[in-house]
Structure 1
């Protein structure tokens, strides 16, 4: 029997479709990922007494995620998120516990690095998976006239949630490490991974597979669609955002260390984070006439202008002002890039694209942190403070290229059929 739907009846909101518990679970499930890099650094420095080795292990976590993130997204697209995430939750929790054990043992440094890489390789990609899940709900369960605004609001919320988690994560690591033991943050991350990533996987939305996938799980779009210029320019731009995060935090730490208060770098960085989250949420209220490509060009220009101010900053109040301006630029830029990723995802490959973008941020952040740390140590803080401008220039240049690649911009996500379960 064919069921007809009254076209006048409005489709339910995304909050009603996904349910409030979904957003709570998805938020907390991101926390272990935000704790991993700082937690690994804390344990290594405490157990092995080497800041250099700690930095290498943090980079190894990022490298593991970069190497396997997109592959995990492709697996989720093909088989559904539930089975992929349940496997990753168990594997990642085991890796976190194993890392603490190996680090405090007599195992060689190479073994510690190998386990750190394993932590990154098995890291559940909750943020990209959540974006993919919500994009699928928007494109396949909402009426076309509501998709554009809902997609913009959703990407704004997701980016703000990421910002909040990456402020809370290091704070929780510091709290657990100082109150209990250096290994406690990793143990806590393992528990949260099992409980909340598991709950995220078992949520009813975890069974959704795009309707554009065939019965075998194969996507109708070829893999080469992932390497089209219109998508790669977004990956390049979001890599620049990640590089900006890495260069900014590391150069800011060096700036504050020169003044004898390196531990306050996180507080100042939080100024940018709060502003970024607030303006990311504000994107949802921008008029649809302010196109995506115009948003990228505008806010990346603000980001570049703020980073150029770092060349002349010589005191803390000046740094606070520069960070406030940078927060205005970075949040909306990131939201816009994820919106482009959603609208340009090949049919049936949304999770793959979202994990590609997430991995781009991580690779950029890891590379930016490593390079800036070396520059700060050997060339000094003033030179290190120039590197955020280099990263911002990558973002702005990618935005300019995107402007010319975007002949006609879609006003709503790609329409697909109704979802099916795996």
Structure 2
């Protein structure tokens, strides 16, 4: 198949799920990217305290990191429909409760608790959508050679959501109010996330098909741990880079430009995600993962030098941040594809949410450490931490080369972990 012919593989995806699923899974992941910033703006604006606003956003992130695997485990054990509906309705209620608490002038602990619950109950549309593609491939409804294309579609969807979600919050908060932005996130959750939970593909994973089997299905710990460490490094890269960009924008007296500059990273990543099927088949997934992290570090060097030395205008920063962005979606697509090969389908939802939570944990670590060091030492610290974070991912790929290289499509099934 030619490189351009590989892109035509995207046209086969609607036949496996229907066009409605593609729309629902794309739009359904946007609310999860709105909550953290929405909570920060809502609480920070109402209390005139960025410290409390930041703490509320942090509570959302901590809840999301902790709740992701719980939602995934419930989806494997009880099915995507009950787990997805419970998460979507709980998330919606928690966001509305946050708005009510802030509007009523409730104590700070009430806002923090509401935000943490909202984060904990994020419906996890992206990871669960990946689990459904995996199940489709295992059930023979999606050709095995189309699964990487489906994962590329998912990676691109993630990047689009990470760009559109915060941008949507900013636009709505400016045009109306932060309160409206949070309520819009709640409205999107109760519509699109519920639609995702009820879609016919939900019956392919967990519940009656794997509820009891999920408890006994074995997850190989080493490959999953290696992938989780690698994606924690990637998340740390996100948080550190964002902290460095925010410092530069604030120093230039254009704090609002930080979001726009950081969005360039997501846009270039989304474009690269679309083109992942064009990568040569001769490049193994393990080498692709390692090379992705190495290239991420190399392409980040100009950004670290210019950004860290406080040289150049902000438009230069926006240009330089586009280059490392082209490696991010390929890294994510590769990591999730390797996870699919390693894990029995009865536990795929849990592992996909675990990997997504690893990114969230890494982001929180990067943002916290880099933000603190940037206040003391300037922008060089966060950009250097970002380089180190890319090294963590490369190291995980190197140390796990043999374990990950041994994975093949159907490896978990061959080990007796599940039946198709």
TM-score by length of 2: 0.90
Q: Residue 318 and residue 413 in structure 1: after superposition, are their counterparts in 2 closer, same or farther (change >3 A)?
A: farther
Q: Which runs of 5+ in 1 are unaligned?
A: 1-11
Deviations along 1:60-111, whole A, 9 cap, x unmatched?
1111111121121111001110011111111111100110111233322222
Q: Does 1:324 align with 2:328?
A: no
Q: Give the Cα separation in 2 of the matches to 1:79 and 1:72.
A: 10
Looking at secondary structure, tell me which structure has more helix per residue.
2
The 5 A counterparts of 1:269-308 are: 269-308=262-301
Q: Residue 214 and residue 254 in structure 1: after superposition, are their counterparts in 2 closer, same or farther (change >3 A)?
A: closer
Deviations along 1:159-214, whole A, 9 cap, x unmatched?
11010011111111111111112201111111111111111111111122359955
Q: CA RMSD in A?
A: 2.1
Correspondence for 2:167 among 148, 156, 171: 171
Correspondence for 2:202 among 206, 212, 222: 206
| Structure 1 range deviating more: 371-380 or 26-35 | 371-380
The 5 A counterparts of 1:138-217 are: 138-142=137-141, 146-147=143-144, 149-209=145-205, 216=212
Deviations along 1:117-146, whole A, 9 cap, x unmatched?
111111111111111011110122247xx4
Correspondence for 2:352 among 351, 354, 376: 354
Correspondence for 1:258 among 236, 247, 251: 251
Q: Give the Cα separation in 2 of the matches to 1:394 and 1:33.
A: 27
Q: Does 1:247 align with 2:234?
A: no
- Secondary structure of the residue aligned to 1:261 is coil
Q: What displacement does 1:277 show?
A: 1.1
Deviations along 1:287-325, whole A, 9 cap, x unmatched?
221110110111111101123333320213542343122
Q: Give the Cα separation in 2 of the matches to 1:150 and 1:412.
A: 14
The 5 A counterparts of 1:78-97 are: 78-97=77-96
Q: Does 1:367 align with 2:360?
A: no
Q: Give the Cα separation in 2 of the matches to 1:201 and 1:402.
A: 35
Determine the structure 1 residue equivalent to 2:100. 101
Determine the structure 1 residue equivalent to 2:336. 338
Q: Give the Cα separation in 2 of the matches to 1:132 and 1:347.
A: 8
Deviations along 1:21-75, whole A, 9 cap, x unmatched?
0010111111110110110011011101111211111111111111121121111
Determine the structure 1 residue equivalent to 2:51. 52
- Secondary structure of the residue aligned to 2:304 is coil
Correspondence for 1:238 among 199, 212, 231: 231
Q: Does 1:380 align with 2:373?
A: no
Q: What displacement does 1:382 show?
A: 2.1
Alignment: residue pair count: 401
Is the contact made by 1:237 and 1:395 (CA closer than 8 Å) also made in structure 2?
Answer: yes
| Structure 1 range deviating more: 387-396 or 202-211 | 202-211
Determine the structure 2 residue equivalent to 1:5. none
Q: Give the Cα separation in 1 of the matches to 2:68 and 2:257.
A: 32
